Structure 1
Amino acid sequence: MRNRVWHVVWPYAVGGLLGVLALGPALAPGFTLAYDMVFVPEPVFLPSTFGLTGTLPRAVPSDAAVALLGTVLPGALVQKLILLSLFLIACGGAAALLDGRPAVVRLAAAVFYAWNPFVAERLLLGQWALLLGYAGLPWAVRAALDPRGLRWVWAFVPAAAGGFMAMIITALTVLPVAALGPGGRRALARVSLACVVFALPWLVPSLVRQAQVPSDAAGVAAFAARADTPLGGLGSLFTLSGVWNAEVVPPGLDPVLPSVLRLLVAVAAVAAFAVARPGGMHLPARAGLAVASAAGLVIASAGLTGPGRAVLVWLIDLWPGFAVVRDAQQYVAPLALLTALGVGGLAGLLAGSSRRARVPAGVLGVAAPLLLLPGLVWGAWGRLAAVDYPRDFERVREIVAADREQGDVLLLPWESYRAYAWNGGRSSLDPLPRYLTRHVVWNDAVRVASQAGDLVIGTEDPRARALDSLIRSAAPLAGPLRAAGFRFVVLDGDPREWNRFQSRLAGAAKVYSGPHAALYALSWKDAQVSRAP
């Protein structure tokens, strides 16, 4: 009985240790803000939480899941539990997919699946919702191989909570697995139904409002995979790196020797997966995972060449929904699972039938991913860290929440990302749209630096698009904003950028002023300014 419990528990213990080792300072008190990852103390349900503001529902239903957890737990604890769960679910799933194989095989596969360049780069990019789907991928594959009863439905919950990209990479992986697995057409029908049902929270608002969202082909060049190792673009993708943002490449990924070693491990792992046979070190879902990995690698590499980018631009112009292939490196997720299973197969081959060889093979299986990717250790050498929100944010929230007048909030300066001094200068989405208790309109356009200059992917929010020319002009703001249904204007970020807006807010009352945020009311009976202590 004790051995059976340990057989189930140890993968999660390993995942927990890897999570602590990877997150490090991010587990300290406070919040970790990194690019797309923004958690707040008291998340609330807003129209944007459900994709009802005219923008693509990228945070549906992940924001709703966070807000729901935030009703019973502190926001900072919610973030830390979610980040740790990524490693627990990934390790547990990879080990469960290899249930019945020797422990050394399961251990090597679990560690590699939770610790690789794909996980590191997407974590530094703040895409925890995508990683939630990635972590649940082995569970979904396991369910697709044997979709009997209703328990298998739970295997899709991580991807469903993660939202649209989490579900897309899951569908890309499990549909070929189900079609080519033992269940055949019946399994394919059940898995297809599950994918559609779990996608409905973001699929419905996407289809209803897609005509309102501009298709900006500039995103193809901005988000195309790139060479972030000496192996070139395709070699980087094959070794599970190649993210578009150079600033989220983990330390130590670019030296030649580790890159070549990672390539050798990847080639050997894929070969081990391909030659595995029943009676030997048989690995599951071989045909389906091979098809999914090949398809994902083709999608990921399409943007590496001019003709490939032209095809993607044509597809997006044809139908805006094809914009999901812009950030193409995400599609190597099935290859990551295939490689992890192959690494498990390699560990099994090294151990053979000798008990003496099992311990060295297990140690090598655990150590190799960590030694080949030391840049993920301790929050990527301190790139992930926990900080406290400034008191100014809480005061602005209190004033806005206590106000009984109708109207929305406009957020300035007119950029979506900030590099707060109190966050160590690290870039992150502005947290105020999630921090405040009413709808915030902001410029959701994304500015991406490139060798050819800044590329700007256009604004999606129809209200922000309507205001863009006004805000970029030198015209007064208070009157037009009041007429457009706004109650407040809030300024945050670098105070040196506030000057060009403060002079244009004549007629609005400054009701709060602090070093990190200022709040203007477009009509206010008592115009006395509340200042930060």
Structure 2
Amino acid sequence: MAGRRHDERANVSHRDHLRRSIVPLWAAVLALAVCAPLFARGYVLSYDMVWVPHLDLDRAELWGLGSALPRAVPSDAVVALLGSVIPAAVVQRIVLFAALFLIATGVGRLLRDRPLAAQLAGATFAVWNPFVAERLVLGQWPLLLAAAAIPWLIAALLDEEGPRWPIVVVALAGTALTPATGLMGLVIVLVAGRKRVLPVLGLAGLLNLPWVVAGVVHSGGQSDPAAVGLFEVQGEGHFGRLGSVLTLGGIWNSEVVPTSRTLGLTVAIAAAIGVVIIVGLVTVWRGDRQLLGVLAAAGAVGLVLALAGWLVPDLIERIVSDVPGGGLVRDGTRWLALLVPLEAVAFGAGVCALLHNARAWVTPIAVLGLVLPVAALPDLAWGVGGRLEPATYPAAWTNTRTAIAESDVSGDILVLPFSAYRRPSWNHDTPVFDPAGRFFGRTTVTNDELDVSGETIRGEGPRAAAIGKVLNGTKVLAELPEQGIGIIVVDTKAPRADEALALIAGAEELPIAGDELRLFALPGATPSETAPGDRWAMTVAWLLAGLTLLGGVGAALRRSDRETPEDNPRDVTQA
């Protein structure tokens, strides 16, 4: 009898383990369906997603000590640190896959007390939506990682036994990759922290210190309020502005909108999804009002900020121009990351409720729960319809990097033509923020003015603005060294390259192989220097944030070693 009971317990444990594995396996399938093109050689370079073979760790801007506002602090430093151990191309693939996998499993965890069908449906919706598709094409991988961390953070803060501190720390670190996402993490802490909100806020403060301190160091930068009108929510296809936002779309850049969003059939499918979500909201209200309250509060913040640039533009313009860091709210639709968990959980719960009342229609409804999100956005598959196609840098880029490293010319690098974005033919004509800003081994100055819908948004970096004035003057070669520029790289394939070459006529050219780039040296330049006080402040910020994260990761690893299935009976999925 004892042996039979032991066998029965073993069989139950094995079945429970299989059930717990289904959601992660499904999440991996979803992520692979999107990331499949990334198995090709090269790097995905799309709008803000700039990946280079070597991101040097000694670059001041990585650590918040450059001349521009710290929009890529600490995300660039994380990439550089990982790239020093793992090939950069592998790091990119891990990051993109992890973002999709974790957002699916995170929503599945929020639905862990509901049947397996609900978890799978919620996980599918969390990945397969316009927000994920558009931000992938726009290249905002830190935003997607933060969106993936949010459901995990909510689940850890709402745990019945009290906050799961290791997961809280790691999830907060995931939201702290950029200033905007760091604020999203703070929103979650405020709405879900409950009685532990002060200690969690303390952790969040420590983990966000790098960009906070860097922002104080660069407090002179200011965002252009004219950007508010250019970044306001846009209608997609037949959805209109409000409908686009409620369906997690509405991005300001029409070029990154999937084609399926413009089809009339998509509206009908989205309406069906909306009905399921409404049913799910009622279901969650009846079963777990605390979870619904947290998700609804966070979603409301995201929805309000997404619509604010359209509904109250004057207010947002004042915030952008007068409030330090106010530029973080100008792209309102990125804040829809806070709405994704609410709609995904509600969709999963709605499928569960329909199944409960379906009787003979159980299988068709379960299948529809997985199919509807995919049917509404079929072109998210295969790298958003092939838009995320890897490219390889021409040999001239590597040759130029080598020539700069071997040169004894002092000073920083200036890239011409002086424009923020490129559309290189070797990158399948996909727009990308000038990769030269990260590719070479020295501090590199690029233009941070943005052209949106034919309008120019003023840049935020004082050094780039000063160099722009020099380039518009008559003594370019004499004044650039005074700005610390000793090396000029000209992208000969970019528009207006001939004008750029004319500006620096007479400069000494350094020979390199390849015709995509040309390299010039200017004597007498002095590299830019960092004030000792700024360096100390950033060192302390990085040290505190790093120690906090290491403590959280260590605690998470120790806890995972100790836990067994019996320790977490609530994690057992009910089929």
TM-score normalised according to structure 2 size: 0.84
Stretches of 4+ aligned residues off by more than 6 angstroms: 353-356
Moved more, 487-496 or 107-116: 487-496
Give the CA deviation at 1:173.
3.1
Structure 2 equivalent of residue 222 of structure 1: 230
Opposite residue 485 of structure 1, the aligned amino acid is G
Give the CA deviation at 1:86.
1.0
1:296 aligns with 2:302: yes
1:199 aligns with 2:217: no
Structure 2 equivalent of residue 103 of structure 1: 116
Opposite residue 62 of structure 2, the aligned amino acid is T
| Partner of residue 167 from structure 2, selected from 148, 152, 156 | 152
CA, structure 1 residues 495+302, in 2 after alignment: closer, same or farther (shift >3 Å)? closer
| Contact 1:93 1:135 (C-alpha < 8 Å) held by counterparts | yes
Structure 2 equivalent of residue 529 of structure 1: none
Give the CA deviation at 1:495.
5.2
Work out the CA distance in 1 between the residues paired with 2:25 and 2:451. Answer: 40
Give the CA deviation at 1:12.
2.5
CA, structure 1 residues 368+290, in 2 after alignment: closer, same or farther (shift >3 Å)? same
| Partner of residue 396 from structure 2, selected from 386, 392, 407 | 392
Give the CA deviation at 1:448.
0.6
Structure 2 equivalent of residue 86 of structure 1: 99
| Contact 2:223 2:460 (C-alpha < 8 Å) held by counterparts | no
1:159-238 superposed matches below 5 A: 159-160=174-175, 162-178=177-193, 184=194, 186-210=195-219, 212-238=220-246
1:52 aligns with 2:77: no
CA, structure 1 residues 357+100, in 2 after alignment: closer, same or farther (shift >3 Å)? farther
Structure 1 equivalent of residue 553 of structure 2: none
CA, structure 1 residues 149+228, in 2 after alignment: closer, same or farther (shift >3 Å)? closer
1:326-361 CA distance string (max 9 Å, x none): 000112222211110011111111221789755433
> What secondary structure is seen at the aligned counterpart in 2 of 1:44?
coil
| Contact 2:285 2:292 (C-alpha < 8 Å) held by counterparts | no
| Contact 2:449 2:456 (C-alpha < 8 Å) held by counterparts | yes
Opposite residue 74 of structure 1, the aligned amino acid is P
Give the CA deviation at 1:274.
3.7
Structure 2 equivalent of residue 432 of structure 1: 436
1:27 aligns with 2:42: no
Structure 2 equivalent of residue 335 of structure 1: 339
| Contact 2:54 2:439 (C-alpha < 8 Å) held by counterparts | yes
| Contact 1:175 1:188 (C-alpha < 8 Å) held by counterparts | yes
> What secondary structure is seen at the aligned counterpart in 1 of 2:480?
helix
Give the CA deviation at 1:115.
1.1
1:413-432 superposed matches below 5 A: 413-432=417-436
> What secondary structure is seen at the aligned counterpart in 1 of 2:43?
coil
Structure 2 equivalent of residue 528 of structure 1: none
CA, structure 1 residues 388+510, in 2 after alignment: closer, same or farther (shift >3 Å)? same
CA, structure 1 residues 236+136, in 2 after alignment: closer, same or farther (shift >3 Å)? same
Opposite residue 461 of structure 1, the aligned amino acid is G
1:132 aligns with 2:145: yes
Work out the CA distance in 2 between the residues paired with 1:495 and 1:140. Answer: 44
Structure 2 equivalent of residue 181 of structure 1: none
CA, structure 1 residues 269+164, in 2 after alignment: closer, same or farther (shift >3 Å)? same
Give the CA deviation at 1:229.
3.0
Unaligned runs of 5+ in 1: 179-183, 525-533
Structure 2 equivalent of residue 319 of structure 1: 323
Work out the CA distance in 2 between the residues paired with 1:219 and 1:234. Answer: 20
| Contact 1:476 1:506 (C-alpha < 8 Å) held by counterparts | no
Work out the CA distance in 2 between the residues paired with 1:283 and 1:83. Answer: 33
> What secondary structure is seen at the aligned counterpart in 1 of 2:112?
coil
Work out the CA distance in 2 between the residues paired with 1:163 and 1:466. Answer: 26
What is the CA RMSD across the aligned residues, in angstroms?
2.1
1:62 aligns with 2:75: yes
Structure 1 equivalent of residue 468 of structure 2: 468
Moved more, 383-392 or 490-499: 490-499
Give the CA deviation at 1:490.
0.2
| Contact 2:492 2:518 (C-alpha < 8 Å) held by counterparts | no
Give the CA deviation at 1:430.
0.8
Work out the CA distance in 2 between the residues paired with 1:236 and 1:149. Answer: 35
| Contact 2:176 2:208 (C-alpha < 8 Å) held by counterparts | no
| Partner of residue 365 from structure 1, selected from 369, 381, 384 | 369
Work out the CA distance in 2 between the residues paired with 1:493 and 1:84. Answer: 35
> What secondary structure is seen at the aligned counterpart in 1 of 2:511?
strand
CA, structure 1 residues 174+255, in 2 after alignment: closer, same or farther (shift >3 Å)? farther
Work out the CA distance in 1 between the residues paired with 2:50 and 2:330. Answer: 22
Give the CA deviation at 1:57.
1.1
Work out the CA distance in 2 between the residues paired with 1:493 and 1:93. Answer: 46
Work out the CA distance in 1 between the residues paired with 2:502 and 2:285. Answer: 73
1:408 aligns with 2:416: no
Give the CA deviation at 1:103.
0.7
Give the CA deviation at 1:160.
4.0
> What secondary structure is seen at the aligned counterpart in 2 of 1:393?
helix
Work out the CA distance in 2 between the residues paired with 1:19 and 1:54. Answer: 37
Moved more, 418-427 or 151-160: 151-160
Identity across matched positions, percent? 33
CA, structure 1 residues 267+197, in 2 after alignment: closer, same or farther (shift >3 Å)? farther
Give the CA deviation at 1:316.
2.0
Give the CA deviation at 1:63.
0.6
Give the CA deviation at 1:403.
2.4
1:445 aligns with 2:449: yes
> What secondary structure is seen at the aligned counterpart in 2 of 1:288?
helix
Work out the CA distance in 2 between the residues paired with 1:17 and 1:158. Answer: 26
Opposite residue 410 of structure 2, the aligned amino acid is Q
Give the CA deviation at 1:426.
0.7
Give the CA deviation at 1:290.
1.2
CA, structure 1 residues 425+133, in 2 after alignment: closer, same or farther (shift >3 Å)? same
1:214-262 CA distance string (max 9 Å, x none): 2310110111111113121111101100000000001210122312321
TM-score normalised according to structure 1 size: 0.90
Opposite residue 505 of structure 1, the aligned amino acid is I
Give the CA deviation at 1:493.
5.6
1:245 aligns with 2:244: no
| Contact 1:220 1:313 (C-alpha < 8 Å) held by counterparts | yes
Q: Which has the higher contact order (CA 8 A, sep 6+)?
A: 2
Work out the CA distance in 2 between the residues paired with 1:401 and 1:254. Answer: 49
Moved more, 101-110 or 287-296: 287-296
